[in-house]
Amino acid sequence: MARPSLRLLHCADLHLTHSAWDASIATLRALREVATQRGAEQVLMAGDLFDSSKQPDAFSDAVAEEMAQFPVFVAAIPGNHDLLYSRSDPDPFGRLFDQLGREALAVTDEAGACVELAEGRMRLWGRGMPEHTPENDPLAGLPLLDEGGSWRVAMAHGYLMDAPNGRSSPIIPRRHRAALGTYDYVALGHHHSPHRLDFEGTLLMDSGSASPIVGHGSYAIVDLEESGVRVELGELPTSQYRRMR
């Protein structure tokens, strides 16, 4: 049976920071506008929401207030910049998703977890990030999914590469050939420029950084359709931030 089409807004590497408070909130607002105007039915944030864990609670609360106004559900995974590198660091990522409650979901299980989203029209696999090292495989434990009548999407934060090259959090598709073959789309984060890889029929896509400060404000509108997965890249209107660089 044909699955009804599903439109996603995939973004990553927002690098929100209190030191660029207004630009950070403006980034979220611009993404919210895109989600609304383009009729996205699900938002995916593929890691590095925050620029570092050293964010005051008032800032993560301002981020939560903005994200609570998104028109659709947001699912996220942490990236290396969301990790706590010291026990005394605040945990803005954890605090944010605690505050959002049922309005959003962060997959932080280091063993990986598969969740049903978009009223059961999509299954999303994601995994928390135990460490950002060459040994950390962001797709570790990626399960083979049966067809099951819904779209199958994975989300991961790390560098897409053909073979280990010493960089941390390597995403090496051939290591996960069998499992990847059961997914329709893989939403990646970490690489600040958009990049797509068609791997044996599965599309792996870096949306690029949605931050206009560290990136180019890029995002991807993803249409999951039985005739194929279509991706359209866009850029947030960044003129309002340029003076802040």
The residues binding Mn ion (CB under 5 A) are 48, 79-80, 190
Angle at 102 between CA 230 and CA 29, to 5 degrees: 55
Closer CB to Mn ion, 48 or 66, in the complex? 48
Q: Is 241 helix (H, G, I), strand (E, B) or coil?
A: helix
Closer CB to Mn ion, 41 or 48, in the complex? 48
Closer CB to Mn ion, 80 or 108, in the complex? 80
Q: How far is the CB of 131 from Mn ion (least distance, A)?
A: 13
Q: How far is the CB of 93 from Mn ion (least distance, A)?
A: 13
Q: How far is the CB of 132 from Mn ion (least distance, A)?
A: 8
Q: How far is the CB of 79 from Mn ion (least distance, A)?
A: 4
Q: Which of 19, 25, 3 has the alpha carbon at shortest distance from 56?
A: 19
| Torsion over CA: 10, 66, 84, 75 (sign) | negative
Closer CB to Mn ion, 79 or 112, in the complex? 79
Q: Which residues contact 33 (CB under 8 A, 6 or more apart)?
A: none
Closer CB to Mn ion, 132 or 152, in the complex? 132
Q: Which of 4, 125, 9 has the alpha carbon at shortest distance from 73?
A: 9
Q: Which of 197, 190, 229, 215 has the alpha carbon at shortest distance from 31?
A: 215
Secondary structure string (H, E, C) spanning 115-133: EEECCCCEEEEECCCCCCC
Using the 8-state DSSP alphabet, how is residue 89 labeled?
Answer: S
Q: How far is the CB of 159 from Mn ion (least distance, A)?
A: 9
Q: How far is the CB of 81 from Mn ion (least distance, A)?
A: 5
Closer CB to Mn ion, 69 or 193, in the complex? 193
Can you tell me the distance from the alpha carbon of 198 to that of 86, in angstroms, rounded to the nearest whole number? 38
